[in-house]
Chain A
Amino acid sequence: MQAPLPERVTGVQLMQGIGVRPAVGFWTDAWRTIVKRHPAVIAMCWIGIVAFFAVFSPLIANGHPIWLKSVGGAGRSYSPLWENLSSVDLVLLVWGLVTVPFVVLGPTIGRGRRVWMMIGALVVAIAVLAISGVFQGRLNSAAQDQGRAAASAAVRGLEPAANASKPFARRDGAGYIVGFGVAAVVFAGMMLVPLGKVRRRVIVVGLAACIGALAVGQRWDRPLEIYNYVQREVSGEIEATYTLVPWSPLQRDSALDRRPPLTKYGPATGVAVDSAPYERRYILGTDAFGQDVLSQLLQSCRLAISIGLVSTGVALVIGVLLGALMGYFGGWVDLLLYRVVEIFMAVPVLFLLIVAVAVLPEELRNTYVIMGIIGMFTWTGMARFTRAEFMKLRNQDFVQAAQATGLPLRSILFRHMLPNGIAPVLVDTSFAIAAAISVEATLSFLGLGPVDSASWGRLLSAAISSEGEFKWWLAVFPGLAIFLTVLSYNLIGEAMRDAIDPKLKKARV
């Protein structure tokens, strides 16, 4: 914390020590410049809100009540939400809760420490899940699970799902205690061992292993079903308490399609509503299949954040790699690779994306594949920036010194040249994330988006029906979400450009 600066500092005052600011690094200075601009700060707040919903949306907008009590004591009381959370949601939940104290404690712990603590917390969360899942899988037998599945299905009034014979881990306490204990030991070990570089590598390896365990742990997730809790509730069979939104994005009701906001559940389905103890409303209306708009909005935040980050990450890796090779070698390598760049620049990205996604078989149209495809077609801008920077840096002294010392190529490129040439690419990253989100919305609108996730673009496509009717809630709310997210990334990109790119300092407002 420094003393407040006078309005204008003269040279004499500087020599006397007034208005002298301690020197900070380039990136710290850039960060402070960005944070001074109000639009960028508001934009980051909005992205923070979207990220919050991305992490916690399965808790907030889930079709399962957090507590279910059957009227008249016919069945047991339990928490369907807890039992049906998928592995990924559970991990994100634990991680979010564990990270909150660190974020709150923030300023008292150094920034480097905080980042590693967040990563450590993620590792803890995944380790908890993985260990408890394996533990439970061994303890439970398939027959026991069948019995439990049948019992809970009776309360729900549905048949068990088709593949209920697959053994899945029930979320009981014992496994979690064991898992948490082991993970706490591992975490403490990671944090307390004072070996700088080794600790970093241990954490990274541990992270990778745990994400692998997460992928395996998803086999124990319950398959998704369509539930009828609200129907049972309205007819008085059960009493249910929901977290916030009583609908899940999958919950269809063809009798209630395209209803305006604040529609009450009931009248169209023929159930007598006036006598119900609670009334459940679709707060933002329903879409063409009768699915709640608000829960789809919240669940799509996860898709938006991950599409932005992953596809831009893929594009960054490909673009920087190719650009570095082109810029460093020049000559025929440059000639050849630049033809490849031109190939991808000559056809509009949307065309190539539409062709690529349309020729994918149905079962491959999930989120990860589409993220990869978007990344594979949008790397050209970054390649060109990197190429220009590397061509400028190639003749600098430090590069020639590195070559003379006989350093390996990857060291020269990525440890010496890249940190100096990455500034324009970083500025472009924020715009690239905005473009990726926009492109994903367009693809979903055209029906070519990921099929296993709710999406803002898909809601938009139902807004104008084939008869020409316009349902405003299907266009305004998803549209607002898309607009605010893309705008936020654009504003952050503008702020970064003004802070980082020296050529534009003259044009700054």
Chain B
Amino acid sequence: MLMYISRRLLLMIPTLVGITLLVFMMIAASPGGIGAGLMVSGGQQMQSSSAVAVQRAKLEDRYGLNEPMLVQYFRWLKRVSPIRFGDRDQVSPAGDLVTRPRPIPEPSVWKWVAERLAEPEPELASRTRAEFVAMDADAKIEAFKKLQRSYVEARAGFTTDEAVLADAVKRYVESIGRTDLIDSNFKPRLKRIERLTPDTSAKEYAEVEKHAKAAVRSRVLAQEARARLIGAMDAGPYEEAGFGISGLVHIAWPDLGVAFSSNQPVLTLITRHLPTTILLNLIAFPIIYLIAIPSGMLAAARKGSIWDVGMGSLFIGLYSVPVVLAGVLALGFLATPDYLNAFPTAGLHDKGAADWTYLPRNGGKGYLVDLIWHIILPVACAVYGGFAILSKQTRAAMLENYSADYVRTAKAKGVSSKDVMFVHVLRNSLLPLITMFVTVFPAMLAGSVVIERIFSVQGMGWLMIEAINLRDREMILANTTIVACVNLLALLLADILYACADPRITYK
């Protein structure tokens, strides 16, 4: 059994990789591309405010947004995997992850203005490290934070200069008439342009030369800041994350990243919204089983009667109502002020419910009753769809088992028909229901997207829709991974439960 479980868990990994790759490619294929969630509106050349440039530089450094798609995907995979290779990241006391700064790309047309790309002196990193080792802990942290800020600003400065240079190059290219070197997004094809010899007499060339020199200079500054930062990091101002051997392999929490749009760590957002969805689904599950199984039993016991036919028809009718329709009708007729107004329209709690007592007291409603009152409609919408499949399955299984040999033996032995039904037949009929878990669970996760939207409940489904609307790729990927993980684990759990319940089944 353990071998089976571990094999299944190992097989989950390629499936997860496949899912996240699929979703990543879908986001990459969208008009804004990978960086569409940034605060800068897709790909404008001139940064209007320096704060925006700094933010963009920080994200570029953390996520490598200027790299090709597949490389970015593998970086994400490396971050999310709990088993890491190489140096350990450090964690500040506030919980932020501090990663090694990324290399700074070369400025575009530097070959036109310089023989050799200027680099900072090589001992800068080790000198900074020596300085840092000499400081005490608090001063180290202060100085490190200052170095971080200056690095980000220097990198932002370089990016801005790069953008200005690219603009100047584009104008130069247009002026010499080589419009084939501008691609369909009106950006210059820098790789091809670099290989040309510059036409020093063209009137735009002076601008290009000026901006190229500025870009080279700002790159040197950025490189220096980076070297200092690396040196400071090596002196270890913060604790290292995870356990293991630094430099080889270690285990750490997956780094799900920072949501681009709201600038909060994704893990925080998820832990804030996941309990709502779990609450909804946890309440819904037992209700589905508690209603479907007895009705299936009743239908099997009175096969062909009005109970059987009526309940079957009712459940098929319920199954045919899409969740959107049920939600809108329930909300409209039962919750809006013009109609029945028996339920609240939105959210899971009234305003100020956090201050109430848990149980009703002194005429007040109490937190618990308020929660129940708010959650009845969403749970009702999540629940009705699962009845049809489960009750039909129970009925079919019970009918099949009822004509089996062991039932005939039990009746011949004199077991009461109630015992035959409940003790013998039911236990064997419940087995297929465990595999039904497999179909019901993902359907509920998906349905909760719509329910959370209609009833303004802020759970994972709502989070997913928000992330998709804002093209926030970290959020979307993290959500997809978690949902896929939960689904696959539920499948595995269903298989294990089936093996436990049915002694005839063994997994080698």
Contacts and interface: CB of A to CB of B under 8 A. Distances in A.
Contact of B27 (A340, A359, A457, A487): A359
A506 B303 CA distance: 12
Interface string A332-354: 00000001101101111111101
Contact of A340 (B18, B313, B396, B484): B18
Interface residues of A, number: 48
A362 B498 CA distance: 47
Interface string B303-316: 11000110011001
B476 A487 contact: no
B252 interface: no
A446 B450 contact: yes
B324 A487 contact: no
A490 B319 contact: yes
A352 B443 CA distance: 13
Interface in B303-353: 303-304, 308-309, 312-313, 316-317, 319-325, 328-329, 331-333, 336-339, 345
Contact of B483 (A342, A343, A348): A348
Interface string B443-460: 101110110011000000
Contact of A348 (B23, B331, B332, B446): B446
A340 B19 CA distance: 9
A464 interface: yes
A509 B329 contact: no
B328 A507 contact: no
Interface stretch (B81-89, B366-374, B461-469): B461-469
Contact of A442 (B26, B322, B480): B322
Interface string A299-328: 000000000000000000000000000000
Contacts of A509: 303-304, 308-309, 312
Contacts of B322: 438, 441-442, 482, 486
B336 A347 contact: no
Interface centre among A346, A483, A506 (most CB of B within 10 A): A346
B450 A445 contact: yes
A340 B15 CA distance: 8
A470 B487 contact: no
Given A339-B14, A506-B399, A507-B395, A441 B324 contact: yes
Contact of B26 (A359, A475, A494): A359
A457 B19 contact: no
A487 B320 contact: yes
B488 interface: yes
Given A463-B328, A464-B336, A506 B400 contact: yes
Interface in A430-488: 434, 438, 441-442, 445-446, 457, 460, 463-464, 468-470, 472, 475-476, 479, 482-483, 486-487
A67 B16 CA distance: 62
Nearest to B444: A348
Nearest to B397: A507
A360 B303 CA distance: 50
A293 to B, nearest CB: 15
Interface in B408-465: 442-443, 445-447, 449-450, 453-454, 464-465
Interface in B227-244: none
A361 interface: yes
Interface centre among B324, B332, B484 (most CB of A within 10 A): B324
A269 B450 CA distance: 36
A258 to B, nearest CB: 13
A472 B323 CA distance: 17
A209 interface: no
A109 interface: no
B18 A339 contact: yes
Nearest to A493: B316
B443 A504 contact: no
A343 B332 contact: no
A360 B30 contact: yes
B51 interface: no
A348 to B, nearest CB: 3
A358 B469 contact: yes
A434 B442 CA distance: 18
A347 B395 CA distance: 29
A116 B366 CA distance: 70
A8 B16 CA distance: 59
B200 to A, nearest CB: 42
Contacts, number: 143
Contacts of A457: 324
A486 B488 CA distance: 29
A339 B338 CA distance: 52
Contacts of B333: 470, 472
A491 interface: yes
B23 A355 contact: yes
B399 A343 contact: no
B446 A351 contact: yes
B337 A468 contact: yes
A460 B325 contact: yes
A343 B18 contact: yes
A339 to B, nearest CB: 6
Contact of A479 (B31, B325, B465): B325
Nearest to A490: B320
A475 B329 CA distance: 7
A339 B21 CA distance: 13
B336 A469 contact: yes
A356 interface: yes
B139 interface: no
A460 B18 CA distance: 35
Contacts of B446: 348-351
Interface string B23-59: 1001101110000000000000000000000000000
Contact of A463 (B27, B332, B453): B332
Contacts of B345: 468
A469 B345 CA distance: 10
A370 B447 CA distance: 20
Interface string A196-232: 0000000000000000000000000000000000000
A504 B432 CA distance: 15
Contacts of B14: 339
A34 to B, nearest CB: 16
Nearest to B17: A343
Nearest to B486: A346
Contacts of B488: 346
A430 B72 CA distance: 42
B362 interface: no
B22 interface: yes
B201 interface: no
A354 B450 CA distance: 11
B15 A342 contact: yes
B403 interface: yes
A476 B471 CA distance: 34
Contacts of B313: 39
Contacts of A491: 316
Interface centre among B15, B312, B319, B337 (most CB of A within 10 A): B15
Contacts of A442: 322-324, 450
Given A354-B468, A355-B468, A358-B30, 4 more contacts: A351-B446, A351-B449, A442-B324, A464-B332
Interface of A: 39, 339-340, 342-343, 345-352, 354-356, 358-361, 434, 438, 441-442, 445-446, 457, 460, 463-464, 468-470, 472, 475-476, 479, 482-483, 486-487, 490-491, 494, 504, 506-507, 509
Interface of B: 11, 14-16, 18-19, 22-23, 26-27, 29-31, 303-304, 308-309, 312-313, 316-317, 319-325, 328-329, 331-333, 336-339, 345, 395-396, 399-400, 403, 442-443, 445-447, 449-450, 453-454, 464-465, 468-469, 471, 476, 480, 483-484, 487-488
17 contacts: A343-B15, A346-B488, A352-B22, A359-B27, A359-B30, A361-B31, A442-B323, A442-B324, A445-B450, A446-B453, A464-B336, A469-B336, A470-B332, A470-B336, A470-B338, A475-B325, A506-B396
Task: Kindly list the 10 A-B residue pairs having the minimum CB-CB distance in the complex, ordered from nearest.
Answer: A359-B30, A348-B446, A470-B332, A487-B320, A350-B446, A507-B396, A343-B18, A470-B336, A438-B322, A486-B320
